[in-house]
Structure 1
Amino acid sequence: MGIRTEYFAAPSDEVAATALRTPGGPADPDQRTDLPRFDAVAVPSMDPFIMLGGLAGVLSGRPYGEVTAHPRHGTLVCSGGDEGPWIVTVSQTLADDLASAAPTRLARAAREWSATAPHAVPPRQLAAALLPLAALATRAADLGHGLYCWTSLTE
């Protein structure tokens, strides 16, 4: 069993919670418009707790325990039950750090992050995940939205 993660932007926790009603995730198209319900990116195997905590520490230069103690780091917004899906917050500090990071900073962060990741993840794989996540963070910042993670178990 694995984990599926989609990061998405929403103007509030209440609006983000509506993504729970989209069984395919926040990028699922609205049946009336055929457009995605949320601006979202799939980032495989990047859980919003441990992996993003490591990323937040690398980007901010702060200890892992400090960044994961942030009140919005992985805070549950809503739950679909024991098997998910779940929607959790991404701290605004991390969202801001992602939005402001140049591609060279993201590549350097991926190398540093790879060295501290709990599972061996190649820096290229992390960098490939960071670029769309940072672009999402930039679009969210432009709209004054926050970042969220829709997470579900997979078989």
Structure 2
Amino acid sequence: MGILCDYFSAPDDEAAAAVADVPGGPGSAPDPGLDVVELKGTQPTVQLGTLEALLTGRDYDAVTENSRWCKAVAVRHDGEVLVLSLTDELQAALADAPQSRLREVAEPWSTTEEFWGQAEPSVLAEALIELAGLARRATARAERLYCWVCV
């Protein structure tokens, strides 16, 4: 069984936590105003931590020491459903990155062991472009990024 990951924006941790109670996750939410990017197998923990390190030039350990890095804002069903926060630094890096930079970063990101050698850089680049769009829209609305995870 795989892991489902939907990335979305919300005005605060409380609003993001409410998404944990939506059957099927934020992509299934009855509220059409919820901005969601579905990246089913791209996990917020190691994979997005590595992405943040690549985009910002910060050391991975420094990324993971951030208090918002994968902070659980909601846990349901004995940990089978989670809503995790993403860092403001990752959001800013994604929002500010031009498409050329995202395509450039997709290559080394695809070679990380968490993708098990099965990630196509071009596919990851398109996913990054979608995620960057989400980050830009969230920033414009003064919202933050989160990830809904279902194991």
1:29 deviation in Å?
Answer: 3.8
Residue in 2 that maps onto 1:149: 147
Q: Distance in 1 between matches of 2:125 and 2:113?
A: 13
Q: Distance in 1 between matches of 2:29 and 2:44?
A: 23
1:131 deviation in Å?
Answer: 1.0
What amino acid does structure 2 have at the position aligned with 1:79?
V
The alignment status of 1:75 with 2:68, answered yes or no, reads no
CA RMSD of aligned residues (A): 1.3
Residue in 2 that maps onto 1:63: 59
What amino acid does structure 2 have at the position aligned with 1:5?
C
Taking only the aligned residue pairs, the percentage that are identical comes to: 38
Q: Distance in 2 between matches of 1:36 and 1:7?
A: 15
More helix by share: 2
Moved more, 8-17 or 117-126: 117-126
Residue in 2 that maps onto 1:8: 8
In structure 2, runs of 5+ residues without a counterpart are none
Count, aligned residues:
149
- The Cα offsets for residues 21-56 of structure 1, whole Å up to 9 and x where unpaired, read as 1111112242xxxx4352111012110101001100
Q: Distance in 2 between matches of 1:26 and 1:90?
A: 16
What amino acid does structure 2 have at the position aligned with 1:15?
A
Taking structure 1 as the reference length, what is the TM-score of the superposition?
0.91
Residue in 2 that maps onto 1:102: 98
In structure 1, runs of 5+ residues without a counterpart are none
Q: Distance in 2 between matches of 1:20 and 1:98?
A: 24
